[in-house]
Amino acid sequence: MPEPAEIPELEAFCAYLALERRTSGYTVRNYRAAVLNFVEWLQLSGKWSGRFDAVRPVQVRSFLVEQGRRLSRRTLHNHVSGLRAFYVYLRRKGAVATNPFTGVTLPKLQKNLPKFLTESQMRGLLNAPLLLWKDGKLGEFDAFRDTLILELLYGGGLRVSELCGLRHQDVDTGQGVARVFGKGRKERLCPLGPVAMQCLKTFVSRFELEAGLDAPVVCQRNGKPMSPRQVQSLLKTHLAAAELPLDMTPHKLRHSYATHLLDNGADLRAVQELLGHANLSTTQVYTHVSIARLKEAHRQAHPRA
C-alpha cells in the first residue's frame, strides 16, 4: 500500500475532515484507508498515472467488480462513500473536473433489524455490577462505576464515544440533562433520567472523586477518563454475569433505548432528536423492530395467525 505522505491530496483531505468537518477519527481512518486501497489497486493494475483527474469510470467499475469478490457489501459501500467524499473534496479544490464514483451501481445491502435487549433483560444487566460486588467478584469502585456507565448508556441512549467524552460541566444534575457532542461535534441536550443522576451523585460522593468542571463523569481509579474499548470490555463482564448474549455492544444498548421508547409510546420525531440522528429515516428502523415484535406476538397468540 502506498504511503500517505506520497499523496499530498489525501493528507489535505484528512485534515479537512478532522479540522473543518470535525469528522470522527474512526471515519477519517477508514476514508484514508479507502483511498490508499484504491491507489494501490491502480498501481498494481498499471493504471495509476499519479493524477486523480486521470481516473475514468471504466476503471472504477473494474475496481468495484474486483473488490466485490473480496469485501463484504457493507465494507464496499463504506469504501465507495469515502472515495466519493474524496472526489467531492478534490472537485471543490479544482483538482478534478468530474467525480468518477458518481452514479456507480453497488450491490444492495441486506437490511438487518437492530439487535436489542428486552426490558427484563435490560434490568438484569443493570443489576449485574452490584450483584457481582455483593458476591465478592468485583471491586466496590468498579461496581458503582460500571452501574453508572450502564445507566448512562441506557438512560440517555448515548454513543460510547459520547459517554467517554462527557465532563461534569456538561451535566446539569438538577435537571437530569446532559449537553452531548455527537457525530461531527453536533451538540444536543440529552435527558438522562433520575436513576442515572442518583447513580452519578452516589459514585462521586462515595469515592470522594474530583468533580471539577473538566473532570470526566466516568473514570478509572486514577481519575483518568475511560476509553471506548474499556467500556466494551466491562460490558462483556456484565453480560456474562446476567447470562445475556455476549455479542451485545454499547451501541446495541442504544438500540434498546430507542426500541423501548417507541414501544412505550414515544413520538418518532422525539426519538430522532434524542438520538441525535440527522435524518428521520435512520430512526425509522426502530419502528420496524416494534412492528416485528407485534407481528410475532400476533403469530403466537392469535388462533388465525
Query: Among all residues, which ones are annotated catalytic?
Result: 159, 183, 251, 254, 277, 286
Instruction: Write out the three cell numbers for 128.
Output: 449485574
Which alpha helices (H) appear in the chain, and where do they start and end? 8-15, 25-44, 57-68, 73-92, 119-134, 140-156, 160-164, 194-206, 228-241, 250-263, 268-275, 280-301
Q: Could you tell me if 36 and 4 are in contact, meaning their C-beta atoms sit under 8 angstroms apart?
A: yes
Instruction: Write out the three cell numbers for 5.
Output: 505522505
Instruction: Write out the three cell numbers for 140.
Output: 466496590
Q: Could you tell me if 259 and 118 are in contact, meaning their C-beta atoms sit under 8 angstroms apart?
A: no
Reduced to 3 states, what is the DSSP secondary structure of residue 21? coil
